[in-house]
Amino acid sequence: MKASIVVPTYNQVNLLKGCLKSFENQSVDRGDFEVIVVNDGSEDDTAVFLESYRTQFNLRVIDHPRNLGRAQARNSGAEQAEREVLIFLDGDSTVDSNFVCEHVKGCEGGKDSVCIGSVKLPAECDVLPFKSYLTTRGVQKLKSGEDVPFRHFVSGNISLPRELFEAVGGFDPGFSFYGGEDLDLGVRLYKAGANFVFLPGAISYHHLEDDFRGAIDKKYVFGNRALPLVIEKHPEIEKEL
């Protein structure tokens, strides 16, 4: 199986440089994967960088003329994907050399397999308590191969068969603000009978730029806009959250 890695990015050109560089040394053949960067209306030098970037792996770029949000950005990338496995990675992350290999092996477990990778902090990160919390909660507490509750489905480091993603309708672009789009997709995948599995060997490193105030602001948006929309769409899950 071969993989398409969809990387949405918005105004984080310096982090995107590190993200793409980390794909230069994957343990699989370069022909076994493609990277699709979705520039979601960035106003920094992202477009200039991508125009001049040269790499040994297959790289494609999709440009949104304005910011449409991560849900639509991921959908745009998935629509252009040509491989059997979809991997979603946030553009402010770098990956381990076995990242692609581990996700592809995980998806070989069956057409209903949904794989969630391990998100860690890079060694050079300023490890404040709230940053450490963000990468040690939920699925990160599970053991290898352990089933994952749908409420722990987060889309910064995941993979699934492209046919399964298309069958459930992809991400809901109505989540144009921060958060909720991954939980909503997780619920729909769960209802479709998907099997969620944790892959501790599919490692990404999240280069967090937010300070404490920024993190709190995002959680406020999630709690006041994203979560109510998820519950409105799936009222039966409210007690499980």
Indicate the domain borders of the chain.
3-240
CA–CA dist 18, 124 (Å, integer): 13
Higher-confidence position of 120 and 99: 99
pLDDT digits (tens, 9 = 90+) for 30-63: 999 999 999 999 999 999 999 999 998 999 999 9
* Residue 101 region by backbone torsions, left for phi larger than 0, else alpha for psi between -120 and 50, else beta: alpha
Instruction: Assign domain 3-240 to a CATH class.
Output: alpha beta
Q: Which of 49, 142, 57, 54 is nearest to 99 (CA)?
A: 57
Q: What is the pLDDT of residue 234?
A: 78
**Percent of residues, the chain, with pLDDT higher than 70:** 80
Q: What is the pLDDT of residue 147?
A: 66
CA–CA dist 220, 240 (Å, integer): 20
pLDDT digits (tens, 9 = 90+) for 6-18: 999 999 999 999 9
Q: What is the pLDDT of residue 58?
A: 96
